[in-house]
Amino acid sequence: MNLIDFNQFHLGVNLLIFALLSAGIWNAGTKLTIFADEMSDRKKLSKALIGFVFLAGVTELPELVTTVTAAFEDNAALVLNNMFGGIVLQTAVLAIADLVASHAPLTYYPRKPTVLLEGILLILLLSLLLAILSMGERHLFLSIGIGSGFLAAIYAMSVLLLRAQDAKGAWVPVQIADKPKRSGSTLSLSWVKEVSDAYLVKGLVISIGTILVLGVLMVYLAETLAAQTGLGASFIGVTLLAAATSLPELSTTIMAVRLGAYTMAISNIFGSNLIMVVLILPADIIYRSGPILLSADKSAIYALTAGLVVTAIFMIGLVIRSRRKILGMGYDSFAVLVVYLLSLFALYALR
């Protein structure tokens, strides 16, 4: 049941509300990253695991709400297109954040192989998902498919593998990248280092609650805007709704880059995309018309393929570690944005 009936408002009013909710989510995501970064410094926690598990988990709350709501309403097209479209969009968010990186592209700085392993595991899960879609999902029990349960199990093993790998210490390449400078973070860091641990925890809880509440409202508003604009559910799922639910990732990733926590920024996006795949399982449990992956249309499959491509591009960037930039971003980020824009044109044609 909607907290607010946005259908009572005209399109212009809803667009204004959309902008206000976006600003609120942006502010909450920014504060969340500041608090998480400071907490990781105080408690000597891994930036990669903080981004991969904590930030990714919190910023995926709107996607969880969208998935559960749409699955409960038996809207498989909205569920799958939002998930797979969100993977492409969130990877494009990383490219946008690259504009904030100082001195060198975002993929130049990570010093540990954890982010590479995260990307490889993401490609593995996306490839397995494509294989399941190609072969056809099979019933496990009730209406739940074997594939969705298998992907969730692979994710659980991935988290354990990453934790074990991260504990092994730094990766030592032949040429070690320059230490990133914390550009633009003075105002944020000057006050947060003086607050107590209790204040940090309180700030984290408030930020999480704000993202959840505003994210829920954003999801319902996006569905209303979809109806008011007259565009199809599949196209809206991979564009407007995916953009609405990806706002927390955008704000947290950009702030992480501003703080110089580049590994956390990359891990946040890779982790969010992995969780997006895992959300198929709760959607499958709630969706009562059979295994939900059987409802994947051409738009969902194309969006998933595009997600594989943009992830692979960033993996190449992490291996090459080039300093070169084009239009203020790395070559890999530029290529990702080009692929994303081309995918929008293709998805519009398939709507």
> Is residue 142 a part of any domain in this protein?
yes
Which residues are paired to 141 by β-bridges?
A: 144
pLDDT higher for 138 or 315? 315
- 1: in domain: no
Most confident of 48-52, 180-184, 324-328: 324-328
Question: Could you tell me the two tokens for 112?
Answer: 């540990």
- How many angstroms separate the CA atoms of 176 and 158, rounded? 27
Task: Say if residues 249 and 89 touch (Cβ distance below 8 Å).
Answer: no
What pTM value is reported for the model? Answer: 0.79
Query: CB within 8 A of 158, min separation 6: which ones?
Result: 121, 125, 274
Whether 21 is in a domain gets the answer yes
Residue 122 forms part of a structural domain? yes
**Residues 14, 225: contact at Cβ < 8 Å?**
yes
Q: What pLDDT score does 91 carry?
A: 92
Tell me the CB-side half-sphere exposure of residue 21, using CA atoms within 13 A: 24
- Average pLDDT rounded to a whole number, residues 208-234: 76
For residue 332, the model assigns a pLDDT of 95
144 DSSP β-pair partners:
141
CA nearest to 162, candidates 202, 115, 203: 115
Domain membership flag for residue 120? yes
The confidence band for 351, taking pLDDT boundaries of 50, 70 and 90, is low
Whether 81 and 300 have beta carbons less than 8 Å apart is answered as: yes
pLDDT tens-digit readout, 235-287: 655 566 667 777 788 888 888 888 888 888 898 899 889 988 888 888 888 88
The continuous run of DSSP H or E covering 144 comes out as strand 144-145
Within a 10 A sphere around the Cβ of 100, how many other Cβ atoms? 18
Query: What total number of domains does the chain contain?
Result: 1
* pLDDT exceeds 50 at position 189: yes
- The distance of Cα 188 from the centroid of its chain, to the nearest Å, equals 24
Confidence class of residue 229 from pLDDT cuts 50, 70 and 90?
confident
CATH code of residue 331:
1.20.1420.30
Q: Tokens for 142?
A: 């009730």
In terms of average pLDDT, the best of 121-130, 207-216, 274-283, 338-347 is 121-130
Domain with 42, as residue range(s), is 6-350
Question: What does the pLDDT look like over 88-113, one tens digit per residue?
Answer: 888 998 998 898 877 788 888 887 78
222 within some domain: yes
Mean pLDDT of the chain: 81
Q: In sequence order, what are the beta bridge partners of 326?
A: 329
Task: Give the whole-angstrom CA distance, residue 112 versus residue 90.
Answer: 22
